[in-house]
Structure 1
Amino acid sequence: MESENLKDVSSLAREKYNFYQNKLGYTIYTLLAGSYCSIGMAFAYNAASGFYASPSLSGISNLIMGIAFALSFTLITFAGSELFTGNVFVITVGALSKKITFKNAISILIFCYIGNLMGASIMGAIISMSGVMSNTAGEMLETFCLTKISLPIHQLFLRGVMCNVLVCLGTWMASKIKSDIARMTALLWVVAGFVTSGYEHSIANAGLFTMNALSNSIPPGYMQGVLKNMCFVTLGNIVGGALIVACGYWFANRRTSESN
């Protein structure tokens, strides 16, 4: 049923590989995607801080964060950039369809991931130094970051899986939708879904941890907790995007694609 759409995604993977040959251009695009995640997170925390501070409204603060963080994915999709989590789906489909080799797929994703981390961290530092992550937003940021680093490994992994299932479903739907308004609506739903639910996005976390480290006092063991979070959330993001969404749709439509 989705074989034609999968062909489009595999062709997109080949285009991404061709663009990857321009290392400077591709690096800039990965830095931009990471920075957009930090910009969206700063917006989300400030938008939700007023609700978080009010006991009667605190229950909807996560929903407000999810809606506001959709800014990041709107920028990534419409302004143009290369985000690791969405690329896990696209590049995996391209490798399964033999548009690119698995060796090239791994190389692209590693390069993209490193660039995203750098972009998110640099922008996180800029945002923190601007002073906007203070008062209630800063308190909220500190609380959420300390919670993230204290979660057990299996929860970090599974939250990473569920996050990128939703992100990659958003990427998948956006590739099929022609109307820009409809694409924005689809992105809003998936982003609100993973943020409100408390799932974990590795690139967004990189920006959050940087902002918190520069805006608040960090406790002993903070960096070890950050490393634990990033490792297992990233692994979960890969499994959610590659094994569940990409492999799921590709194998379900494999016979149809071959017959065509």
Structure 2
Amino acid sequence: MGKNMMDDDKRRERPKGDTTVLRIGVNALTPVETEEAVENAGVAKTRLAGGRAFVSAMFAGAFIGFGALFFLIVTADPAMTWGPKRFVGGLAFCMGLVLVLCCGAELFTGNSLMVSDLAARKVTARGMLRNWVIVWFGNLAGALLLVTLVTMAGTMGLADGAVGDLAVATAAAKVTPAWGTLFVRGILCNVLVCLAVRIGFAARSVADKVLGILLPIAGFVAMGFEHCVANMFFLPMGLAAKLLGYGADAAGVGALDVPGILFNLSAATLGNILGGSLFVALAYWYLNGKASAPADKAR
């Protein structure tokens, strides 16, 4: 009824004899409009109070962790073959970014897009880096909180322990490759993640957001790329499952410890920054953005 009343008001506001048909835009934003939306969001992020940014980031860390847990549960089924398992697991993981974009939360990897604001001189390097540091640690805190709750809930024992075994195997596979390999996987991962985030900005509805991000996110998971926030859940969860006695026969399980976790996160984080900032943020700013006045130095 409210919508009909607004339409009636608009019709009453029109001059007599105006037969113009009212049109409601349903198409996605253009690339230029999307760039403007991304940059406006980046400015708002630098103005967010530290405590609010941290709590919002905790939500994002937990949301991505829920997606990672969904991945583990779905792919623990031994009846699925490798290809379908990767694809279905990737679709399950998408739940994390759906929650981030639709519910609202600060995600470190998506915030790589703030580099376009820096290029447009809408934010300062100090403001951007402040946001990144707060959000990275907030994401980690949210992921670790979820690991604690999942461990207490006994979720690793599902499917006769298959979920716990897979958690250990997945984490071990992430700490055994060379640092450079993990770094490049991080670059490739955040190219797809930031493109998915841009799709979210371009969308006109929740349904658009959800449908638009499915394939980029499912794709990076299926391709085995490295997402630092997802790994903030996968790696501690794998270590916790290992300490509970799961996955003793997993390949590379000996490397799954705190130094191994930090080894992976350092490579994945730096790769994610480069992939999102250079190959997406700066590239699309160059194509669609325009320079603004210098940012307020006090920001």
| Common topology (TM > 0.5) | yes
Alpha-carbon shift at residue 121 of structure 1 (Å): 1.3
Specify the alignment match of 1:180 in structure 2: 206
Corresponding residue to 2:122 among 89, 94, 99: 99
* Counterpart residue identity of residue 122, structure 1: L
5+ residue gaps, structure 2, are: 1-29, 244-252, 293-299
TM-score with structure 2 setting the length: 0.79
* Counterpart residue identity of residue 70, structure 1: C
SS of alignment partner, residue 42 of structure 1: helix
Q: 1:87 to 1:151 in 2, by over 3 A?
A: same
Query: What aligned pairs does 1:195-206 form with structure 2 within 5 A after superposition?
Result: 195-206=221-232
State how far apart, in whole Å, the 2-side matches of 1:113 and 1:241 are: 15
Quick check: which has more Rg, 1 or 2? 2
Q: Which runs of 4+ in 1 moved over 6 A?
A: none
* % same residue: 28
Structure 1 position 154 matched with structure 2 position 180: yes
Specify the alignment match of 1:109 in structure 2: 132
State how far apart, in whole Å, the 2-side matches of 1:23 and 1:226 are: 26
Structure 1 position 33 matched with structure 2 position 56: no
Give the stretch that moved more between structures: 9-18 or 151-160.
Answer: 9-18
SS of alignment partner, residue 155 of structure 2: coil
Specify the alignment match of 1:3 in structure 2: 32
State how far apart, in whole Å, the 1-side matches of 2:50 and 2:255 are: 38
Alpha-carbon shift at residue 100 of structure 1 (Å): 1.0
- Kindly report the root-mean-square deviation, in angstroms, between the aligned alpha carbons of the 2 structures: 1.8
Q: 1:82 to 1:192 in 2, by over 3 A?
A: same
Specify the alignment match of 1:78 in structure 2: 102
Corresponding residue to 1:69 among 82, 93, 105: 93
Specify the alignment match of 1:131 in structure 2: 154
Could you list the per-position Cα deviations for residues 84-111 of structure 1 after superposition, in whole angstroms to 9, with x for gaps in the alignment? 000111x111211122111111111111
Specify the alignment match of 1:238 in structure 2: 273
Alpha-carbon shift at residue 59 of structure 1 (Å): 3.5
Q: Does the 8 Å CA contact 1:38/1:204 hold for their aligned counterparts?
A: yes
State the aligned residue count. 251
State how far apart, in whole Å, the 1-side matches of 2:256 and 2:213 are: 35
Could you list the per-position Cα deviations for residues 171-224 of structure 1 after superposition, in whole angstroms to 9, with x for gaps in the alignment? 111111213212101111111011011001001101111111212246366222
TM-score with structure 1 setting the length: 0.91
Specify the alignment match of 2:219 in structure 1: 193
* Counterpart residue identity of residue 32, structure 1: F
State how far apart, in whole Å, the 1-side matches of 2:186 and 2:263 are: 12
Give the stretch that moved more between structures: 60-69 or 228-237.
Answer: 60-69
Specify the alignment match of 1:212 in structure 2: 238
Q: Does the 8 Å CA contact 1:84/1:112 hold for their aligned counterparts?
A: yes
